[in-house]
Amino acid sequence: MSERRTIHTGRNLPVALAVGVALGGLVVLTLLTVKVTFLILVAALVGAGLWELSTALASKQVKLPLIPVAAGGAAMVAVAYHWGALPAMAALVVTFIAILVWRLPAGTDGFVRDITAGAFAVLYLPTIAATVALMLAEPDGQYRVLLFVILTVCCDSGGYFAGILFGRHPMAPAISPKKTWEGLAGSAIFCLAAGGVGMTLMLHGSWWSGLILGAGATAAAVLGDLVESTIKRELETKDMSSILPGHGGALDRLDSLLMVAPVSWLLMSVFLPTR
């Protein structure tokens, strides 16, 4: 007699689906109308993520220099879109100097701890968001970014449904107990298919480069999820906030996107002509 398996999703699926569709609609609307407006959506999500990270770190007596990180991060994204990678790197250096200057008046107690947190925050969120701006700045940038988002969604969705339906073998139980090797297989299948089809139809690239893109996106998305799970375990929190009903916080939705973005930008730069 076969054992019945009860599936627990751990979230309110109707609410999560509605919020996901709304966010997806915003992404498509901004990208396919006036694409620069997509950067406003990116800035809003990154700003929310920085606020969540600052609040979570405060529970561990870490004071994130939020103002210079947020202001410098916004400048990095704008500079990357208008002038490219090297000026964005210069903006990153200036942002780090601003973090040091901002923190100095508070004295020596916790100085290294706080500026280290600031450096991590600016690298983890705004710097990676700048790679999205670099993709968007290309003549076909809206389709590059749309494909990157599709890859991430396919990876998350494939892993989620394969995991709850077939998951038996934990992949990293000490970090994310619900993540399984079967889920990883589902992520890979969905992501490879999306990469091959998307690169061919949306960007007129080769199918094999799309498969490489899909494989890179799979690895990056899984890494992003594990990294954020590790951060949350260190900070002893389940969700970074509750601003996105059914999903948690902005960081809970950005985790995979944050890692897939630079990988997608790099591989698309290699396989596709740039401006």
Q: What is the pTM of this model?
A: 0.89
For CA atoms 14, 19, 20, 26, give the dihedral sign. Answer: positive
Strand partners, 176: 172
Predicted confidence at residue 4, as pLDDT, reads 39
- Amino acid identity, position 8: H
- Amino acid identity, position 153: V
DSSP-derived pairing of the beta strands 176-180 and 170-172:
antiparallel
Query: Which stretches in the chain have pLDDT values below 70?
Result: 1-13, 16, 241-242, 244-247, 274-275
Predicted confidence at residue 5, as pLDDT, reads 42
Q: Which tokens hold the place of 210?
A: 């799309």
DSSP string covering 122-141? HIIIIIHHHHHHHHHTSTTH
Domain boundaries, the chain: 35-137, 140-275
Name the residue among 52, 126, 45, 41 with its Cα closest to residue 89. 126
Count of C-beta atoms within a 10 Å radius of residue 174: 9
